[in-house]
Amino acid sequence: MTNAVTNVVAELIPHFEGYVYPNEATQQPLWSILIVLYPYITGLVAGAFIMASLVRVFNVKALEPVYRLSMLTAFAFLLCAPLPLLFHLGHPERCFEVMMTPHLTSPMAIFGFVYAWYLMAVLLLELWFDYRRDFVEWSEVTPGFRGTLYRLFTVGVTDVSDPALKLDFKIGHILSVVGIPSAFLLHGYVGFIFGSVKANPWWGNALMPIIFIMSAMVSGIALCVFNYMVLSWVRRKALDMKCLDVMCMFLFYALVVDAAIEGLDWIHRIYSAEEGFQVIQYMAREKLFYTLSLGQVTLGTLVPLLLLGSLQLLRRRVPDLIRRRMYFASGALILLGVLAMRWNVVIGGQTFSKSLRGVMTYKMEFAGLEGWYMGAALLLLPFIILTVFVKIFLSEKLPSTAPLEPHPAHAR
Partner 1 sequence: MKSWLSRRNLLSRLSIAAAGLLAASAARSAKAAVQKVFASSGAPRGYDPAMHKWRMAIDANRCIGCGLCAEACKKENHVPEGQYFRTWIERYIIAKPKPGSGEARGETLVDSPSGGMHGFPESIVPNAEIQHSFFVPKLCNLCEHSPCVQVCPVGATFDAPDGTVLIDPKYCIGCGFCIQACPYGCRFLSPVTKTAEKCTLCYHRITRGLKPACVEVCPTQARVFGDLMNPVADDPLQQFYQNNLVQALKPHLGTKPRVFYAGIDKEVR
Q: Does 148 help bind partner 1 (rule: CB under 8 A)?
A: no
Q: Does 161 help bind partner 1 (rule: CB under 8 A)?
A: yes
The answer to whether 340 and 300 have CB atoms below 8 angstroms apart is: yes
Q: Does 272 help bind partner 1 (rule: CB under 8 A)?
A: no
Cβ closest to partner 1, residue 9 vs residue 318? 9
Task: Find the binder of partner 1 among 133, 187, 357, 407 (CB under 8 A).
Answer: 357
Interacting span for partner 1 (CB under 8 A) from 94-102, 180-188, 284-292, 333-341: 94-102
Beta bridge partners of 352: 359
Q: Does 362 help bind partner 1 (rule: CB under 8 A)?
A: no
CA distance 179 to 125: 11
CA distance 152 to 154: 5
The dihedral built from the CA positions of residue 154, 159, 163 and 165, taken in this order, carries a sign that is positive
**Short-list 383, 378, 386, CA closest to 39:** 378
**x-or-dash string of contact with partner 1, 11-30, rule CB under 8 A:** xxx-----xxxxxxxx---x
Q: Does 142 help bind partner 1 (rule: CB under 8 A)?
A: no
Q: Least CB distance from residue 86 to partner 1, whole Å?
A: 10
**Is residue 299 classed exposed, middle or buried when 0-12, 13-18 and 19+ CB atoms within 10 A define those classes?**
middle
CA distance 270 to 369: 37
Q: Least CB distance from residue 355 to partner 1, whole Å?
A: 6
Cβ closest to partner 1, residue 101 vs residue 271? 101
Cβ closest to partner 1, residue 99 vs residue 257? 99
H or E stretch including 16?
strand 16-19
Cβ closest to partner 1, residue 106 vs residue 312? 106
CA distance 152 to 225: 31
CA distance 233 to 229: 6
Chain contacts with partner 1 (rule: CB under 8 A): 2-3, 6-13, 19-26, 30-31, 88-92, 94-95, 97-103, 105-109, 112, 120-121, 155-159, 161, 163-164, 167, 193, 196-200, 203, 275, 349-350, 353-357
